[in-house]
Structure 1
């Protein structure tokens, strides 16, 4: 649960109904944890579209709260074949305050008002062992704050940079900072992203948190090399550089001459992406994004926000 995003949505547009996929069984359009926010005049997010989402939006606008168990085939005529539980809650300032005060926010949304033993045990394991609780237990919804998103610095607003942002920006797992040398390098309409205009990009490396991941794909090999040099001195969790094996061989030689050891240099991944997908900017972006998501999932919540030895490619 990203409480910061919920709080921001409340401040931006006022109270809303949060529709959360609390539990899934079998094939469903989205995974448990997917959510949709519903206002009278708009929505944000998705629980998978189709009749399921249409009916959920209508229920939210009627003011319904609580839980709904939906068998996708019999109930809404969707061919996924699975079943799920939707939890509907009104998000307002009081809800935010109650959520913020709880290490794990547990509340009944269809079960008995008295906390079941299974819920108490799950809360105890979360408190004593740091164990992530099951989300849906006997009609009770349990949520812990989600780990902070990974700071992701994208160096370059050319074709590949734009493709990467288009793929990665909607994902809550990443908090993007986008850097290039001039304002006119950026496309119009990319609002909500932090941008840095840096005529000398390597000097901006000092602004990055040391747990950030970096993708280097500027228009200049000289700038790329300066960024690699600066990042190796500064520290990072992951770094990827666009380029060929020949480019990387030359960079490795030059980085050694600048005083970096092979073990450190090898932490930069080059080339990036999945070569089997091709060299089209969107294909590169898809390969890089899938690698970042796999890494994020593999490290898990306990590792979020800490320096890792993984690669961005």
Structure 2
């Protein structure tokens, strides 16, 4: 396996420094931005595998000579370093109603381990393409979550929503805690949380507004996914900065 890493990027480039992909004789995982740049890098990586080379470097201007019009320049480092073991964040989606069933698959396109959680087997049975968990004690899933994980709360019961949101916020180490609802619901929860000695400020509620009042499940799911995507992307960029 050859790791292809953008070690430097200047000007307009399809990916920033730190982006990686891994190349084997018959498979590519990840991307450095696609296009002719990526084809060239894959070809060079497979040459290295065939020739048993350990390291290589490519300095590539992204201009018309290679059929790309970005106009920038990238330096690629190719080596046999093994990929880093990457722990993905969990995204725990509580509530398998219409919004939950739309949101869970939407989140699955992000680098997240998504689980749709509910106490109702008939609702979970309607979910497609996602990991589901049937449990009568959903708050236990929050207690077992890891620091930096994500919780989205949209159950069929306001009291259960409040219980789960309070449990999530009381940890103080989750990256995102969101709850479906209105400004009125948020105000009610804030009073409830303060009565429990919990700061309600980190709670995202309403979720998925995206500047539009559209309440269709698919739109709420799409805008909520965008909120979480920004968070995941920002965390990834911070990790790259630390690595560099």
TM-score range (shorter-chain normalised) is 0.7 to 0.9
| CA distances 1:5-48 after superposition (whole Å, capped 9, x unpaired) | xxxxxxxxxxx222111110100111111112222222211111
Change (3 A) 1:284 1:74: closer
Render the CA deviation track for 1:80-129: whole Å, top value 9, x for unaligned.
Answer: 11110112223xxxx44xx9xxxxxxxxxxxxxxxxxxxxxxxxxxxxxx
Match of 1:251 in 2: 189
CA separation of 1:76/1:63 partners in 2, compared to 1, >3 Å: closer, same or farther? same
Deviation string, structure 1 residues 140-174 (Cα, Å, up to 9, x no partner): xxxxx7996555433234554455545544545x5
| Structure 1 gap ranges (5+) | 1-15, 100-144, 305-313
SS of 1:69's equivalent in the other structure is strand
Q: Using the alignment, how far apart are the partners of 2:167 and 2:187 within structure 1?
A: 18
Matches within 5 A, 1:35-74: 35-63=20-48, 65-74=55-64
Give, in whole Å, the separation in 2 of the partners of 1:81 and 1:52.
Answer: 12
**1:84–1:166 Cα change, 3 Å:** farther
Q: Which residue of 1 aligns with 2:52?
A: none
Contact 1:73–1:81 under 8 Å retained in 2: yes
Matches within 5 A, 1:196-211: 196-209=133-146, 211=148
Q: Where do residues 134-213 of structure 1 align in structure 2 (5 Å cutoff)?
A: 150-161=89-100, 164-166=103-105, 168-172=107-111, 174=112, 176-181=114-119, 182=121, 183-188=124-129, 190=130, 196-209=133-146, 211-213=148-150
What are the within-5 Å matches in structure 2 for residues 84-163 of structure 1? 84-90=74-80, 95-96=81-82, 150-161=89-100
Match of 1:265 among 197, 200, 216: 200
Give the TM-score of the pair, scaled to structure 2. 0.74
Counterpart CA distance in 1 for 2:38 and 2:149 is 35
Give the superposition deviation at 1:240.
1.6
* Aligned-partner Cα distance in 2 for 1:82–1:217: 44
1:230 maps to what in 2? Answer: 167
Task: Say if 1:67 and 1:86, in contact at 8 Å, map to a contact too.
Answer: yes
TM-score by length of 1: 0.60
Partners of 2:213 and 2:31 in 1: how far apart? 30
Q: How many residues matched?
A: 228
2:79 equivalent to 1:77: no
